Amino acid sequence: MKVVAIIPCRYASTRFEGKPLVLILGKPMIQWVYERTKQAADLTDVVVATDDERIYACVKGFGGRVLMTASTHRSGSDRAAEAAQALGLQDEDIVINIQGDQPAFDPRCLPQLVSPLIQDIELVMGTLVYRMTNSADIKDPNHVKCVFDEEHFALYFSRSPIPFGRDGSASFDTFKHLGIYAYRKHFLDHFTSLPRGRLEAIEKLEQLRALEYGYRIKVVETPYDSKEVDRPEDIQKLEAVLREQNP
């Protein structure tokens, strides 16, 4: 069974155009993500999937593996599915979809993510969550929240704080969704063929498509947070994190 990490990467973005190529401590963001991914244990391959010649040239320039994909994809998962097909992956192989805007993610979380799928062939999709402690982050719609059942299968994802504590004194945990997925290859093909879900369209969260069509997502809690880059002003905060990690 192969475990292949694919990093879907596009240049256009409504909030931050050209984000993958922005320099962070002198290095393009996509290079940070690629090099972090390469540090993870037990990966068969790491590939960037893009539709942009500038990103393609950048990845080639630092010696990374990159594939050109169609410009018509509606999501990163669709781009990852095309790349997985081009790589000749088999139905039971595992595809890890890593967002290209998480240059500070900890590669130790990837074996944690794929472990349930390796142990249970019936599982078709998994993702990561991190226990939140900052109240401002909980309220921030850029930080997606997740609730899950006793067996750690996702119940819902939202940009709003969930669960909502009706009684102000109630104490409970809130979990941040890290936006890194693992798919069984055959399920990734099926997932990307499904019509867009109603809740997916409302929240702008593609993982809700799986729940809306009745599929289960295994949720793995990791102790390793990941700081995303959503806006240009996030760069300075991220550089501070990376300086602390790499003095």
Per the CB < 8 A criterion, the answer to whether 111 and 42 are in contact is yes
Q: What is the pLDDT of residue 15?
A: 64
Q: What is the pLDDT along the chain (247 residues), one digit of tens a residue?
A: 999 999 999 886 666 678 889 898 889 999 999 999 999 999 999 999 999 999 999 999 999 999 999 888 888 899 999 999 999 999 999 999 998 888 889 999 999 999 999 999 999 999 999 999 888 889 999 899 999 999 999 999 999 999 988 877 668 999 999 989 999 999 999 999 999 999 999 999 999 999 999 999 999 999 999 887 777 777 888 888 788 776 6
- What DSSP letter does each residue of 141-153 carry, written as one string? TTS-EEEE-TTSB
Class of domain 3-245: alpha beta
DSSP element (H, E) containing 117:
helix 109-119
What is the pLDDT at residue 169?
64
| Alpha carbon 13 to chain centroid, angstroms | 16
- Paired tokens of 136: 């401002």
Write the CA distances from 24 to 96, 107, 194, 239, integer angstroms.
24, 18, 36, 6
pLDDT (0 to 100) of residue 247:
61
Q: What is the pLDDT of residues 61-83, one digit of tens each?
A: 999 999 999 888 888 899 999 99
**CA–CA separation, 65 and 55 (whole Å):** 11
The radius of gyration computed from the CA coordinates of the chain, to the nearest angstrom, equals 17
Identify the CA nearest to 85 among candidates 6, 179, 10.
6
Position 55 scores a pLDDT of: 95
Query: What angle is formed at CA 66 by the lines to CA 38 and CA 187, rounded to 5 degrees?
Result: 80
pLDDT for 173: 93
Instruction: Report how far residue 49's alpha carbon sits from residue 65's, in angstroms, rounded to the nearest whole number.
Output: 9
| Tokens 């719609």 -> residue | 141
